[in-house]
Amino acid sequence: MAEQVQLPSDIKLLKVDLTTGDGKIVDITDLIHEISIYEAIGQTAVYGRMFIVDGTNVLSQANISGQEIVTFTFSKFDTNDEHIFHVMKIEQVSIVNETVSQYTLTFIDREYVLDSMSLVSQAYEGTIDSIMKDIHLNAFETEIEEADACTGTYRFVIPNWKPLQTLEWLSRKAIDSNGVPLVYLKTFRRGPKLLSFETMTADDNIVCEYFINMSTDPQASVSSNQYDYQNIARKIINFRTLQHGNALDQIRDGTYAQTYINVDTQGKTAIVKDFSGEDVFTNNPRLNEYLPVSIKAKYGPQDQKITELSRSKQSISYHQGSNFGNQFLNYNSETHDIDTIRQNYNGMLGTYMYEITVPGRFDLEPGRLVNITFPSNRLQNEKEPEANIDNKRSGKHLILACHHHFKKDSYHCILEVASDGFGEEYES
C-alpha cells in the first residue's frame, strides 16, 4: 500500500552527523548543500553523494580519509528515520576563497563494507530464497525480510565469491512457482528484497498516479498551501524520454526470439530449443496487455515475424545433468530456460523508458509501480476528456531506479521508469 502523503515539507532532513575514524562525532548539517541517494533494480547496494560547502575547515580538522560514518536523520510527519552510511572517498575538492572550500563526499551502505571483508566458500542445497536468506544473515547479520518463494531445489558450491556477488548470481537463477523470474535489489528505506516480476507487476504494487502536462489551479502553487495538493503531488515536474522503441536492438539481443542449446557433457547429448517471446508475453504477468511491436511486420527473405527470428541469437549451455538427478535443478542446465525468459523481461522493459521528476515521497522505490497518463497529440476536447488520453502509452510503469534528492528546503525523487507494452493493440 502507498504511504500517506501530504506536503513535501512533511519530509525533512533534520540532521547529518559525521563520525570520524577516531570516534569523534561532528554535526555537519549546516554545511550540507544537497544530498543524493541512489537505488536501482540490479544494484546490490545503496550509495549516494553529498555536496558540502565548508567554511569551518571540517575537511582538515576531521582528517577525512574514507573511514568515516555518516548518519542521516529524516523526519516524516511525527517520526524520525535514521540511516547510516560509510564514507567512500572525497571528490571534486575546490577552494572558493581563503575561508571556504567545497567538495563532494560519496557514501555507501553498511553491507558493501562488510562485503569487502568476507568471502562465501560453501556447498549449499535448497531453494534459492532460503539459500539467499542464509547467506545474507551470515554475511551481514540482517535478514531479507521481503522475499518471494522460489521453486526448485539446487545443489552447488560457491567458490570464494563475495556475498553480494553470490546473492546477485543466485537471483539470476531464481523463479517462482509460475516460472516467473525474480530480482534482488537493495532499497534505501526497506532494505534488501527478492521479488518476482509477478509481484512487481501486480496492481496492488502501484504507489501513485502521475499525469503528463496536467494543469493545476494557480492557488495550489502557493507555498505551504494545501489547496488542491493531491493534484500537485501527481503532477510531473520534469519529463525526459530515455528510450522510445528499439526493436532492432531487441532482435539482436534475442528478446523476442532466439535459439539455445543445452549440452549434457556427461550423457553426450544436446537439446536444441527455440524460444518465442510472444508466448511468454501472452502467458506471463506483464505491465501492459499488448506487445509494443507490430506482429504484421516481416523480416528477411523468409518473411518472418519478429517472434520467429530464432536465428537472430544462439547461445549454448554446458552441464552435467545426470549428476544430481531429476529432483534437483542443475544450476547450469534447466536454468538456461530461465535465462531466456529473464532476458525477455529485461529486453521488453527497455522498450519505453522515461525519466520523471516528482515531489519526494519515501514509498517511491525500485520494484514499485506508478501509473502514468499521457495526453493524446490531438486537439484537447473538454466535452470528451477520455479522448484526450493516449491509451497506448498510458498505464503501469515499473520504477527501475530512484534518485532521492534532498536540499534544505526541498525533496524530490527522480525516477527512471519503464513500460513493456501498450494499453491498446499496435494496429488500433
> Where are the domains positioned within the chain?
8-114, 118-197, 204-245+351-406, 247-342
> What are 317-353's pLDDT values in tens digits?
877 765 566 566 665 556 677 888 999 999 999 899 9
> What are 116-132's pLDDT values in tens digits?
999 999 999 999 999 99
Which has the closest alpha carbon to 59: 22, 97, 35, 26? 26
C-alpha cell at 160: 570464494
Is CATH 1.10.20.10 the classification given to domain 8-114? no
Phi then psi dihedrals of residue 359, to 5 deg: -55, 140
Q: CA separation (Å) from 296 to 82, 299, 303, 418, 426?
A: 54, 10, 10, 24, 10
C-alpha cell at 388: 484526450
> What are 49-65's pLDDT values in tens digits?
999 887 777 766 767 77
Give the residue with greater pLDDT, 206 vs 213: 206
Give the residue with greater pLDDT, 245 vs 40: 40
Beta strands in 219-289 (DSSP E): 238-244, 257-264, 269-276
Distance CA(218)–CA(128), nearest Å, equals 53
What is the average pLDDT score of the chain? Answer: 84
Judge whether residue 402 has pLDDT over 90: yes
Judge whether residue 206 has pLDDT over 90: yes
